[in-house]
Structure 1
C-alpha cells in the first residue's frame, strides 16, 4: 500500500511538473502577490532605496492561503484596498494551482494526460477571491473557491429559544449570527435588489419561529407593504404601518410603551430586561427609513429608541436603500454598533453605514454583504428564504386580529398594559 501511494505521488508529481511547465501553471501565490504589488505601484521610493511590502508569514487553511505582510512607510491599508480588483484579476489570469489533493483524485490506470487536461480545464473555471484586512500587518486571504452566489435557508439555521438570527455564510462556511440580546439594534442598508428586504423577511420569520410567545413586532413598511404584508395577521404583530403618516403614529405608541417598560425595569433596580428576567422583546422594524428622514418627530423617536430601547427590551432594525448622513443620523449610529450593508453605489454610502469603504466594491450578487459588529467584519452571503417557506413557518401564528382603527395601523383589542415577570 505504501509503495503504491509513494509511486502514485511520484508519478503525479512528475506529470504535474511537466504539465505545469507546458501550460504555464503557477504554484506560488505569495510571489505573484508581491509581483502585483510592485507592478501596481505599491512599493515606495526612499531616495535610492525601494521600500517593498515584506512577507512576514503565510499559512494554509482548508479554504486557501493567508498571507501577512509588513507594509512600507508611506503606504496605508487604503492604498492596498484600492487595488483589490487588481489582485483578484492578477491571481485569476488563467494560471491555476493544481494541488496534491487534486492529484489524489487521479486514476493512474487511465490516460493520465487526458485526466490532467480535464483537471486543468476545470481549474480554469474556478475564480479565486481575495479579502484584505489590517491589524498592524496587511492580511491577504486568498480563497481557492468563491463564496456561493445563492444559499438556501434550512431549519438548521434556527436556534430555538434564543434571539440569534442568521446573517450569512462566510467563505469558509461559517454561519454568522446576530444575537439581539448582545447587540440590541441593527442597521441594514443596500441598493434595490441586493437582499435588504429578503434579510428582513428572514429575520422576522426567525424571530416568530424561535420565540413565538415572547416576540412582539412593530412593522413599518414604507415601500407600500410589499415586504411585511404577509405578517400583519400574526399574533406577534402589535403595530403595522405602510405609509409615513401612520408610521409616526406607530412610533409614538411604541415610545409610550417603551417608556413604561423602561420605568418598570429601572425602578426595580435592573439594568435591562434580561437582568430583570423579562422574556418578551419588542422589535421595531423599519423598511425604507429614508421616507421618514424629513420628519423631525419620527427621527427623534427613532433616536430615542436606539438610545434607551436596549434597557426596555425595545430593539430597532433600521433599514434603508439610501444611506446618507440625513437618513442615518450620527445620533442613531452611535447607539447601533451592528451594521449589515449590501452593495451600494458609492464609497460615501458605504462609509455612512460601515464607517469604511467596501460595500461599494461588492460583486453584483444579491445577498452578498458586509456584516460588521464591534471590530469584527465579515463578508457574507445571506441565506435566502422563499415566500412559500415563510408562509409555512408563520401559518400557525396567524390569527384574526382586533378591529382596525386605520387602514394602515393595527391596534389590538387588548389594553396597552405591560406585564413584567420578576426573577
Structure 2
C-alpha cells in the first residue's frame, strides 16, 4: 500500500489515509466558529513507522473525545486499511498496526514448544499465538478470572481443553486443585480420574455442594491470612502453604436462575485472588442478564471467539468477535487492552495421551463431596429451552 514512494511522502500518504478513517468514523471533536464554519479536532498522529511487514501509527485522542468511540468504530479501520490490523491502547493513547499479511490460521498445540515460554509462571494461562507468531500467555495470579465465549465450532471448547491440560502438566497435584462443572455433559469427561481434579460434576445439586466447599476453603484461607498477617496465600509460611484452586464452569449461563450459585460466583470472583482461588467461566451465547456489571467487572480477561452478532460481542466486551471467520481465532480483552490471537488446537486424543500420566485408579479419586440421594428438581439436567425459551438474549 505504501511502497515505492520516498519515505517522507510515504508517511504523509499514510497519515492521509488514517485521517480518512477518522473522518469515516467521525472520530473527532466538532465545533463551529463565529462564521458558522465547522472546525474539527482530530486525534493527533505522533508517529508513523513503515517497514516491510507492517505500518504502525501512534496517535492520541483530543481531550473530551470518548475512548469508547475507538472501540465502537473499530470496523472503520478495517474498512479503510483491510482486515489485517491490530488496534491497542486505552483512554488517550492508541497504536494501530496495519499488516501486509494475515495471521496464521492454525496453531497446533505442542507442550514442548510451550514449556520454556511459560516456565516463569506459577499459574500460566496459554492464550495462543499473535500475528507475529509469538506465544501469548500470562500468569493467572495477576489476571485472576477468565470469561470465554463462542458459538459451537468457534474453538471455545478446545481452548478450555488446552488451558486445563496445560495447568495439569505444569503444576503438581499438591500445587493445584481443579473443580469442574460441565452443565452440558460434553466437555470435561477426559479429566475424570485425574489426581488434580477434586470435583467433576454435571448436576445442579453437586455444583452447589462444590461451591459450598470452595467457599469454606475461602473462609479458612482468609483466616490464615489474618492470623499470619500477610496479604496473599503465597506469603504464608511453608508449612501453611495451600494449593491454588481453579474453578471452571462450562455453560454457566444455564445456572443463571440459581440465585445461590450466582451469589457464590460473585463472591469468589471478588475475593478469590489473594486467597489463591481463580474462576474460568464459559458460555456459547453471552447473555446480558447473566453477565451483569457486578460479575463482569470481576472478570479480568475475556476471550471472545466467534459469536452470533454485535449484541453478544458487546456483552463479552470483545467488539469484532461477531465477524471472526477462522476457527480458533479470538479477541482477548485484558482490562481494556484488545489483542487478536490464534488459540492452540489440542486434539481430543492428544489431550488424553498427555493426561494419562496424571490418572489414578477410580477408587483413589478423592472428591470433596459424597453422593446424596436424588432430590427432585435439583437433579434435573437443564436445557437451553429451560433457560432461554425460544431466543432470550
Is TM more than 0.5 here? yes
Measured against aligned partners, the alpha-carbon deviations of 1:323-370 in whole angstroms (never above 9, x if no partner) come to 22332243333333232222333444333333xx51445422222222
Q: 1:382 to 1:269 in 2, by over 3 A?
A: same
Larger Rg: 1
| 2:217 alignment counterpart | 257
1:64 and 2:54 correspond? yes
1:210 and 2:170 correspond? yes
| 1:342 alignment counterpart | 305
Q: Which runs of 5+ in 2 are unaligned?
A: 6-10, 372-393
**Greater relative contact order (Cα < 8 A, sep 6+):** 2
Shift, 1:303, TM fit: 1.8
Distance 2:229 2:88 in 1: 45
SS at match of 1:262: helix
Shift, 1:218, TM fit: 0.8
Shift, 1:41, TM fit: 6.0
Distance 1:39 1:378 in 2: 23
How many residues were matched structurally?
A: 352
| 2:352 alignment counterpart | 391
| 2:107 alignment counterpart | 151
Distance 2:74 2:218 in 1: 45
* Conservation of the 8 A alpha-carbon contact between 2:48 and 2:56: yes
Shift, 1:27, TM fit: 11
* Conservation of the 8 A alpha-carbon contact between 2:210 and 2:368: no
Q: 1:69 to 1:303 in 2, by over 3 A?
A: closer
Residue pairs, 1:222-371, within 5 angstroms: 222-224=183-185, 226-276=186-236, 277=238, 278=241, 280-354=243-317, 358-371=319-332
* Conservation of the 8 A alpha-carbon contact between 2:252 and 2:282: yes
Distance 2:264 2:66 in 1: 40
Distance 1:82 1:333 in 2: 19
TM-score, length-normalised on structure 1? Answer: 0.72
| 2:158 alignment counterpart | 198
TM-score, length-normalised on structure 2? Answer: 0.77
Shift, 1:80, TM fit: 5.3
Q: Which runs of 5+ in 1 are unaligned?
A: 1-12, 18-25, 93-126, 414-423
1:175 and 2:135 correspond? yes
